Structure formats: C-alpha cells, structure tokens
Structure 1
C-alpha cells in the first residue's frame, strides 16, 4: 500500500516549491581530527569548586574537576588563536571538496564504505587556525555519556549506593545498575558494580540495620522490589504487584516495606473485559505523560512484609504520593489532592495517616502544592516543600508544620518563601526536580537544595537561629543530597558545564568536598569542550536578563552563525550543565545563545510570575533583546541566524518565526502551536488554563493564528506518545504551512514521549536521529 510516511534512514527533504532561504552555508571552523593524544588524568587535589559566574572567555577546554577553593583564579586556558601552530606542517588549509549539491537540495544522511550508517555527510569546511589536540563533541558521542543518580548513604555512613544509567546504541536500549563506593574513598578505592544491570535497576534503599539493600528492577517485566543481602547471595524479588511499583521505603524497624502502586476497585473483582468493551471516562486525568492511559487507577499505598503477603492500606480515588514513615513507624505522611472535583485542580496537600486507626489529618492548605514530606528524627515536625499556587511559577519553598497538627503550616524560617528548591536546570540528561529535605539528628535543622541563577546549592535551614545557611561553594549544581544518620556526611551529585555528574561527598557542614566517582572522565577528557560565557542584557523595561553564550573558536576577522535556544518549562533554566547538543553545534562552528528570559526559575518568584498570561509577549522581547545584544558585542554573523527549542522553547521557536523573518531556519521539538487545543488535549489541562486563562489570549498568542506570516524553513520533531504537548500541535502547524507551500518538514517518532531526548525516556537511536536531523537542518539553511 502506498504511504507518505518515510521510515528509511534520516534525511532532510525540502519541498520543490517555495525554495526560499535555502542557500547552503557552512560554519567557519571545522570539527578537528583526533591526534591520538591520551586522555588527561583527573586531578585529585580538589576541594570546593571555583565560581564561573564571571565573564569568561569562550575557549575550548578539556574537562577538569572543580578548582580548589584556595585558587583565586581559574587555570589559564590558551585561546585558540594563541596556540602555537605546528611549524612542521604547511600553513595552508586543506583543499576543500567542491560542493556539487544544488542550493535547493537538502543534505542526506547516507552510508558508505568510508563512513558508518547514520554519519552526517557534509561538505568539507575550512580548517581551524591550528590543529587542536582533541576533537570536539560529535553527535554519536551522545550515547557514550553515563548518568549517575540517587546516592544513598548506608546507615553507618561508610558506603554510598547509587545508580548508573548507560545507553547501548547497538541494541538500541538503555540499562542501569546499582553501584557502591566508599564515602571516604581515595583514588585507589574504585566503585564496584553491585547488580548485573542487564535491565533497569534503580532506587537503591538501605535497610535500617544496613544488612540489606532493596532496589527496583524491571528484570521481570514491570518494576518490582528486590532485596539483596549485603553478605552475599542473589537479589530476591519481594513484590509482585500487578501494576508494578513506582516508589518505596523501608519501615523504621526494617521488617516491612511501604510501596506505591496503581490500583482500582475492579482489579480485585477479577472481571475480564472483552476486547471490544468501551472505555468510560467521567473525570479529567485519564492519562499521564510518561505512563500513558491509567485505566482509572490511582497510586495507592501497600505494606509488604519481608515474610508474608502484601496488604493494600489505602483505597483512595486519587493518587497518594511521596509517602514518608514517622520515626516510630506508627504513621505515614503523604501528599494528595483529596478535594472535591480533584481532577479539575492541580493542588496537593500534606496528609498524615495513622496506621492503627486509619484516621487521616490534613496539615497544609489545599490551595497550593505540597511535596516531599520528611519527619524530624524526634517525630515532632514535618518539613516539606510547598508552592502557594498551582501555576508552577511560584517558588517551591521549604515549609514546616507540627506533626500532631497542633500548629499551622508555615515557611520554615524567615526568608524561606523567597527561595525555590526545584532544581530543573536543563541538560537533557538528568531528570532531577525535587529532593526530600534531609534532617540533622538533633531535629534542629535540615538541608534543602536551592536554585539560583543557573546554579543549585545546598542550604541548611536552621530552626534555632531562624536562618538559611549555604553549605556549598563555587560553581555547579549540587543535587540529590543524602545526609548520614549521624549528620557527619552528605552524599551528593555534582554536575557542571563539563560533566553530567559524579558522586561526591562532603562533611555535614559542607566542608571537605571530595569526588568519589569518575564515570565519564576518560571519555570527556578525550574531547575538547567549549566553555560558555555568561552574558547579561537589559530588557525593554529595564529588567536584567541572563544567558549563556557558546562561542566556537574563530579565525581573526571572521564571525560565527548564531543559534538562539529558548529553554522549555517555562519555569526552568539554563545554567551550569553539560548540554551535549550545544557542544556539538559549537564544535561545528555555530555559536549558541541560551537565554533565561522572564519566566525562568532561579531569579526570584516575581521574575518567574511575569510570564503568566503573557506567553509570546515580554518573553519574546527578552529573547530578541538578547539576540541584538550579542550580535552587537560578539563576533557573530547577523545574516546567519537560527532558532531551536523544545516544549515551551518549541512554542517560543514557533512564535518567533511567526513574528520575524530574521531567522534562516528553525527546529521545533515537542512544541505548542495552538495554546487552546494544547490545553484541552494535554495531560495538564488545568495548568494550561491557569497560565493563559482566557480563550482570546490563548488564540491571539498561538503561533498557529499567525502561521500565514511564517517564511522561515521549519523542522518539526515530535513524539507520537507525547501527552504533555500532543503531536496534534505539530500536525496543525505542519498542515497550515504546507498548505501555504512553505518549507516545512514533520518528523514523527512512534515511541517518543515529551522527554524523548532524555536517556531515561527515549531510545538511543531516537535521540541520535533527532540530534542528527537538527544539525543537518541548520547546516543546510544557516
């Protein structure tokens, strides 16, 4: 049967009509060849990292660990034009292969005997000024990166269990394993692999006595709890819940595990529905991004004894999330939206369940969003994270409440409401968002993460001094902190511009920071990376906007093409993160501007809330002001501009090309073209209604409304399983542009969800294909 769908190798194809803006351009600098130099050895004399929040020259560097606190300045790095050329070679650029492709033909990805399948074939480009030591990042390097997560300190504080996720491009799959490392490890103390990692082993959790380690694994088909004795033997499967397990925790006495799993009453009636039976839906929330159709099930709490049958202890028509045991094991705190008509509200309150009586008490307001409760060791208080509204634009701040309900929930200390604990700095590798507060053993203080201006630091909330004390220093993101039972150690993940993250450990006061793993060092030190430069500019109303500029090395007197990259969220940010796509593009000669326009997180609640009911307004002006600023101050070519973004960043991409023809090309991923239909079809209809709250506003600020103005060649990349920004958003815009004979291409990924570019969600080949197509589109048009 004839089909219009292309399922062969990736390629960029351009409609035969309306071939405007199709002249082929190549960046000024080429991807250098590997000279065979050995990777650099990591430096072990490391304590606190230095601060990169200064104007840094955009120089190519090899990855390095954070500098010592004692170092006043970063290690000097020679700029590309300062390097001494190899005098044994001729000072001539290699002869370029003639580009015989017509300007209205798109480049194709082809396989040949000289290059492996999937390799990007592009015309030869000018050689860089000198032959650099190491190659820049390539598209295919994406699957070489491994992601560490979820560090868990043993009860005695001597060991840290953690997860390592890796990609297998050959078999087009991912897998993860549980690893161990000593918390006082030296360079000679290597981490060791605890589980086979042939499937997805995640969420390691120590038993209270430290003799067992429980974890989730999908080795049996669905995520179930396995328990491994630390003195030898194979892991034993503990749970066999029909819908799998999404979260779990040990009881304080170590005799049982509390699990979270989907359930509905019909599950216990053993009623088989015929294949033709209809699905009846009476409430919103019938499906969820990353999960799919829920079939009427909600997350409930189950008690699994180490010996015996599991018992479901709740039967609520709503999800019960973030469960946490009281220290004596008599009560469980959790977060849920138990309001009438909960499906048309995105709120969540803090509740406590008394196991003996089954009684529930609510401890926080129902209008906001509560998350991640944590009992104080003495059982008197519960610290939790709370946002006063449901827009995601307000700070998610540390709050406190008396566990027995005798007090009123409130910000934990003065000024707590002014910080946000969410850590969503985008790198398309890590999925960290919120971390449960970590109590010190005296119950007088606890640790939270704090995002600020593209960085994430650890802060101590001191209830006695009524103060907020920063524990970490320098640059970077300090993630997933876990405090030892005695309060003497903090295990954490540290990530920055040059690494997706490693396991680190510090003393309980934040001092003596030390690196324990080097999961990507050997690979990263075989590549040159581009250090981004912090830039700021004034918006039209005087507001300061911050961004990060990735500049490739350039020959004197030349200018680089520039790609503008608005981030998703919108309440997220760019910052101290390794972004593979930006490194690839910069290595191929493109400058990339990653702006944190108004609406971004980490710049105060007022800054974030400025975006409410103003999508496509001042946020767009911020982007264009940043574009004009760097064009006037940096060696950039104003005639060669592109724009790309994902989710809300895809919306901004679509919106920008509907407002201006300055961009030569655009790539929009899992985006929004019609705010009204996106809100109606998304798994978050209530949220869309709150952030853009009138039909007229939704219509006027939708790119689809202005599709007739779009002239820029547009590549739409969308996952067919995206339930956050449904694929109908891409289809609508594609149809509107194709009917007008514009240059547009829609690529549908059958297995792709909203976060298909993250290794925990998308397959390796999908992620590689998406990035190849993006690079090719810009290399053809910009």
Structure 2
C-alpha cells in the first residue's frame, strides 16, 4: 500500500523548495495538524485557501501551484528534485487554475469583471484569460491571443494541447474582431467563438474551426493528432442539433428545445464519440456513436457516475468513478486500475479527489478533506509508494478545531427521501444547540460530507450547521433532480425546514434558536425562509441571493440574447412566469417575520446587484428591519480575500446579534 507521511521532513526530502515556502507561511503542513485550545479567528476561515490549485508537468518532474500567502496570490514552480523555477507574486489577479501546456510552459487561467459597452446584452461580463509562462525564457509570455489585434484577449473554452511536428499547440475558443472599420480600431462582431490552434512557443493562432451561425452554438472534440474530429451544432431557436465527423458527415441528430445535446469525449479506443441527451422526463443519458457512422447506443446505462477520467492529450475516455456508499473506480487499462485502487486505499477516512496526473498515473496530485482535515494537497509517487503533503488550504485551523461532520438522512412531508450535512461545534455537547441552516446555491448542486469553510466558521462560534440537499440537488439521480422543477419557494423550501424538524426530533438543536443563511440560490432560500415561510428562523442572511424571480427570468433571457432554449429551460425549471410573484421574497417583504441581512458584490455577473437593491427597497417601504453590506469590486464567487472576510464577519456578527450561541 502507499505510505502516507504528514511530516515536514518527508516533504522537505521530496520538494524542499515547496517546504521552504510553507515554512514561511503562518502554519505549515505539520503545524496545521497540531492541537489548539483556542478557536481560530474568523479570518482563518474567511481568507482565500492557502492553496488555490496545483498542477503536474506532463512528465511528472515539476509542480506548479498558486498559493495564498497573507492574502496575496503567488505562483510557485518547483521540480520534484528540489529545483526552483518560479516564485512570483500574482498581485490582485483572480486566478482560477494553474496548468501546463508542455513541460516547459505553465498556464494560468484568470478572470476579470469587465464593463460592457453599448449594444451588449449585459452590463458586465466575467471574461476568462489564459496566460502562457515559459520557464526557460525562450517562448512568448503573455495572454493567449494578445499578439493579434483581430482576436479579443479572452479565451472561451480550452480543448487541449497536442504535440504536432515536435511543437506544442493549444486549442482555444476565441472571439474574432472586425478590423475593417474606417477608424482603424477593431470592433466587436459577435460573441460566438471560433476554434484556434495556438503555437505555444510563439503565441501565434490559426483558425481550425469557424464560429456558429447566428442563433446557433458549437462545440468541438480535438483528437490526438490535433484534428477537429467531431463538431456539434445546436440551433437555439428550436433545439435542433447535429453531431458530425471531420468529413462533415452527420453521425446523429435530434431535437430538444430545452437542453439540446452536448459532447463529452471519445470512447476508450477512439472509434466513437460519447454525447449526452435529456429525455422527455428530464433524465440525462449518455450515448456512444461510431465515428464512421451508425446507430447510437446508450453508454453506462443505469450506472451513477461521479466523474470521468479523460486523457488530456487525446480526449480518450480512460475510465470513471462510480458513486455509491462505497465508490468504485473503473479503468479500461488494468494497470491504471491497479494504480488508482492503491491510491484510494491509502486514504480510507478522507474525501479524496484526484486533481492532476501524468499520462501513466505514476505521479498524481490529489486533494483530501473531511473530519480532522481542513483541506490537504498531496503529491503521490505511485512507483515509490509515497504520498507527501505539499500544501494546506486552511493551515491556521488545527485538526482539533474541525467540527465533526456527518450525514443526516430524513424524509420530506411527501415522503421523499432526503439527506443533509451536519457540522457540529467543536467541544460542545450535541444537544439543544443553536442552529444555522446553510442551503447550497445552484440550486442544481449538492453539499457532501467534507470540510466547508463557511459551515466550519459558524460551528467554531458554537452553532450546529445544517446543509440540506433539498429536491433539485444533484448527485442523487435524475428523478431527484427533476423533482425540483417548479418547486422554488414550495417543496424545495419545505425540504429545508423538514430537515430542521428532523434535527429537533433527534434533540440535536433548539427550534427556537435557528437562523438561515445562504448564497446565490441559498440566499433566495434564506429570504424565502422568513417571507414565504414564518415562525421558523430568528434571522436570515442572503449573500448574492435572488429576491425577484421574475426579474431573474427577464435578465437571464435578455443576457442570452433572447434565446428560446434559455427561455424554455427557465420555464421548465421555475414554472409558469405568471406564478413568479408567488415565489418571490420581494413580493412578500411586508410579511417578513425576522431581521434580514443583505450582502452583495457590486461586480456580480451571475445574480446582479440589483436583486439585493430591490429587496432592500421593499423591506424599507414595509418598515421591516434589515441591513445591507455592499462588497466593492467583488464578484459572485467571493474571489477576493478582503471582501470574502468582510462577508463572513458581517454574517457571523448578524447571526450572533439575533441568535446568540450562548
């Protein structure tokens, strides 16, 4: 079996440059796991994680990481032999991921909130850019497309890197500009991306697939040789879709006015393509169709899949991991199967997720969390049967201060089986506790048993925290997800309070001492908990929450360019627009029965800031108690450490004022 080693000395032997970096950071890997008698400060939970992302070079000899050091992001690149390559501050950049284009070139994926000009369908956009960083100085450094005036400096999709004639070529979606204007300044044509092949060393692109026509969207699969082997085209006016091969021959086609179809990858031997469809009942199915043409057949029918493992150099399916009480990894290559089984066996009591790997899975980067683990990253050398920690996400939170995390099973009023995650405060008896209900966003997402920085922050202050997976949540089958259709403010809402009732029945919490807190859809649920429902919560905190469902519907349709598919999908998910007022907290502000705190980022491009403004106006007009905190220069994801901590401090203070833990 793989030997896990949590000692600093073991880390230093493998990657001493990383060890030095950790030692310079308050609370490195070893210190983070020591016992502590005092609860950490809120900043220990609210600051950005100490590790944002890790990536392995293709040959497994180098590690690139983005780390948060005293609220400043740094790029660190070291060799597994201890050689240092890069240690550079990234300033205020919102870095989303780090990767490798080849063994000599690191890539950074970042985003920026950009105001839109006249003629755009939204006031602001969150645009993604990819930065190339050559390690030896011989390549072109900078944003992909930055050398071309006729392409926007934003990447709209990444389709892999291929080695062609000895050169690394990256495939990126890009937005072409019109350079024919008399002013000489490039102008925006449309937002439908072309597919470009970019020479990584020179940063020079060439078009390899054209953009979709108006009211259509396209996606592609690039094979191991760098050829665009499969294309899907979807007509957003009527949902007609078509998948074709490199010769332009239709492999299969169909019509779905709500979801269309989507490409996934090539099958494991490269003879076919796997794609996804949704049936009339809203159930998702995967299908496999030969590249030479033929009848599609259902793929992995009846198997609940947690994730797929796809080869990054070919888009071939390597295997998958089944969901269930005992998750199982299935790889088509028995050698890879044995390696992954060994890796997962080495961490039996933690949540384990493979984050990066070499093509032969000899070197792997993985992330763990769970009880007694606030988020740890490991470098695993499979042939050497060794796993060494290379970073902590929350180094200032010792194992003793990670509140116990468990799953709670319960039933809704109509009998539907539900579950949620319960986090208990460290050092307190699990009896009659004050409660914070923390519904997730999405709403098509889910909370699993694991370390959650927001839940743990409230638990550290003496609260039990409950994260319900109400109907509509993912990872529990299509029928469960589809049970949420049309249930905003209705059964999705009572599923949450039914979970509270279960905790009360078990004697774990005090029903008179509960607040509800959430972000995005969770913020909507928090508002609904004290406006559409009554007598349940002593306060509500909505972070970037939806207050007016009709306003959300109109905004989403407008920002999609009036897409019929967007309109149809929203109506299927939300119900008849004529009923939107009946499920909008804004419309029921006058009946709010508890104080409300509204928190919202000014740069939010997902749930516009206006949603909290209209709720604040409605509460003010109704004479109801509320507070509002504006997060300047913050987006929907709380990407900046300063404003994320501002949010957490305000939310905890508000809950403590209205529902003291002691």
Report TM bin, short chain. Answer: 0.7 to 0.9
TM-score computed with the length of structure 1 as normaliser: 0.65
Separation in structure 2 between the aligned mates of residue 617 and residue 486 of structure 1, nearest angstrom:
49
Separation in structure 2 between the aligned mates of residue 438 and residue 408 of structure 1, nearest angstrom:
25
What secondary structure, in the 3-state scheme, does the structure 1 residue paired with 2:47 have? Answer: helix
Q: Does 1:143 align with 2:47?
A: yes
Q: Does 1:250 align with 2:148?
A: no
> 1:657: Cα distance to partner?
0.8
What secondary structure, in the 3-state scheme, does the structure 2 residue paired with 1:166 have? Answer: strand
Q: Does 1:717 align with 2:599?
A: yes
Structure-1 residue corresponding to 2:75: 177
Find 2:234's aligned residue among 331, 338, 359. Answer: 338
> 1:591: Cα distance to partner?
1.5
Find 1:660's aligned residue among 530, 534, 538. Answer: 534
Q: Does 1:328 align with 2:225?
A: yes
Find 2:543's aligned residue among 669, 672, 676. Answer: 669
> 1:694: Cα distance to partner?
0.7
> 1:743: Cα distance to partner?
0.2
> 1:747: Cα distance to partner?
2.5
Find 2:412's aligned residue among 539, 553, 558. Answer: 539
Separation in structure 2 between the aligned mates of residue 550 and residue 517 of structure 1, nearest angstrom:
27
> 1:515: Cα distance to partner?
4.1
Structure-1 residue corresponding to 2:278: 388
Separation in structure 2 between the aligned mates of residue 348 and residue 178 of structure 1, nearest angstrom:
44
Separation in structure 2 between the aligned mates of residue 403 and residue 766 of structure 1, nearest angstrom:
49
Report 1:308-457 matches (<5 A): 309-317=204-212, 323-333=220-230, 337-339=233-235, 341=237, 352-353=245-246, 359=248, 361=250, 365=254, 367=256, 368=259, 373-375=264-266, 379-383=270-274, 386-388=276-278, 394-395=283-284, 399-404=287-292, 406-416=293-303, 418-419=304-305, 421=307, 437-438=310-311, 446-449=318-321
What whole-Å deviation, never above 9, does each CA across 1:621-667 have from its counterpart, x for those lacking one?
22112111112323433222100111111111111111113211110
What secondary structure, in the 3-state scheme, does the structure 1 residue paired with 2:522 have? Answer: helix
Q: Is the 8 A contact 2:375 2:394 kept in 1?
A: no
> Cα–Cα, structure 1 residues 380 and 537, in superposed 2: closer, same or farther, change >3 Å?
same
Separation in structure 2 between the aligned mates of residue 372 and residue 517 of structure 1, nearest angstrom:
35
Separation in structure 2 between the aligned mates of residue 332 and residue 574 of structure 1, nearest angstrom:
37
Q: Is the 8 A contact 1:63 1:499 kept in 2?
A: no
Structure-2 residue corresponding to 1:104: none
What secondary structure, in the 3-state scheme, does the structure 2 residue paired with 1:612 have? Answer: coil
Question: Comparing 472-481 with 575-584, which one deviates more in the overlay?
Answer: 472-481
Find 1:768's aligned residue among 627, 645, 652. Answer: 645
Supply the RMSD in Å over aligned alpha carbons.
4.4
Question: Comparing 214-223 with 567-576, which one deviates more in the overlay?
Answer: 214-223
Q: Give structure 1 stretches of 5+ with no counterpart.
A: 1-39, 46-61, 66-74, 78-130, 183-188, 280-293, 422-434
Separation in structure 2 between the aligned mates of residue 598 and residue 219 of structure 1, nearest angstrom:
32
Structure-2 residue corresponding to 1:228: 134
Separation in structure 2 between the aligned mates of residue 559 and residue 329 of structure 1, nearest angstrom:
61
What secondary structure, in the 3-state scheme, does the structure 2 residue paired with 1:774 have? Answer: helix
Report 1:549-628 matches (<5 A): 549-553=422-426, 559-628=432-501
Separation in structure 1 between the aligned mates of residue 513 and residue 230 of structure 2, nearest angstrom:
55
Structure-2 residue corresponding to 1:205: 100
> Cα–Cα, structure 1 residues 688 and 451, in superposed 2: closer, same or farther, change >3 Å?
farther
Separation in structure 2 between the aligned mates of residue 413 and residue 223 of structure 1, nearest angstrom:
35
Q: How many residues align?
A: 590
Q: Is the 8 A contact 1:244 1:261 kept in 2?
A: no
Q: Is the 8 A contact 2:195 2:207 kept in 1?
A: yes
Q: Does 1:302 align with 2:192?
A: no
Q: Is the 8 A contact 2:549 2:584 kept in 1?
A: yes
> 1:714: Cα distance to partner?
0.3
> 1:196: Cα distance to partner?
2.3
Question: Comparing 551-560 with 139-148, which one deviates more in the overlay?
Answer: 551-560
Structure index of larger Rg? 1
TM-score computed with the length of structure 2 as normaliser: 0.76
Q: Is the 8 A contact 1:148 1:165 kept in 2?
A: yes
Structure-1 residue corresponding to 2:122: none
Separation in structure 1 between the aligned mates of residue 635 and residue 542 of structure 2, nearest angstrom:
15
Larger proportion of strand: 2
Q: Does 1:752 align with 2:647?
A: no
Larger proportion of helix: 2
> 1:583: Cα distance to partner?
1.6
What secondary structure, in the 3-state scheme, does the structure 2 residue paired with 1:735 have? Answer: helix
Separation in structure 2 between the aligned mates of residue 629 and residue 383 of structure 1, nearest angstrom:
42
Find 1:196's aligned residue among 51, 66, 88. Answer: 88
What whole-Å deviation, never above 9, does each CA across 1:143-175 have from its counterpart, x for those lacking one?
2622343634524xx335443242654xxxx53
Report 1:266-281 matches (<5 A): 266-272=177-183
Q: Does 1:691 align with 2:570?
A: no
> Cα–Cα, structure 1 residues 362 and 702, in superposed 2: closer, same or farther, change >3 Å?
farther
Q: Give structure 2 stretches of 5+ with no counterpart.
A: 1-5, 12-26, 113-126, 561-565
Q: Is the 8 A contact 1:642 1:666 kept in 2?
A: yes
> 1:505: Cα distance to partner?
3.5
Separation in structure 2 between the aligned mates of residue 411 and residue 599 of structure 1, nearest angstrom:
24
Q: Is the 8 A contact 1:350 1:373 kept in 2?
A: no
Q: Is the 8 A contact 2:548 2:585 kept in 1?
A: yes
Find 1:460's aligned residue among 316, 325, 330. Answer: 330
Q: Is the 8 A contact 1:452 1:602 kept in 2?
A: no
What secondary structure, in the 3-state scheme, does the structure 2 residue paired with 1:313 have? Answer: strand
Q: Is the 8 A contact 2:45 2:456 kept in 1?
A: no
What secondary structure, in the 3-state scheme, does the structure 2 residue paired with 1:298 have? Answer: coil
Separation in structure 2 between the aligned mates of residue 410 and residue 737 of structure 1, nearest angstrom:
54
What secondary structure, in the 3-state scheme, does the structure 2 residue paired with 1:545 have? Answer: strand
Separation in structure 1 between the aligned mates of residue 129 and residue 504 of structure 2, nearest angstrom:
50
Separation in structure 1 between the aligned mates of residue 444 and residue 84 of structure 2, nearest angstrom:
37
What whole-Å deviation, never above 9, does each CA across 1:43-94 have from its counterpart, x for those lacking one?
979xxxxxxxxxxxxxxxx9999xxxxxxxxx9x9xxxxxxxxxxxxxxxxx
Higher RCO (CA 8 Å, separation ≥ 6 residues): 1
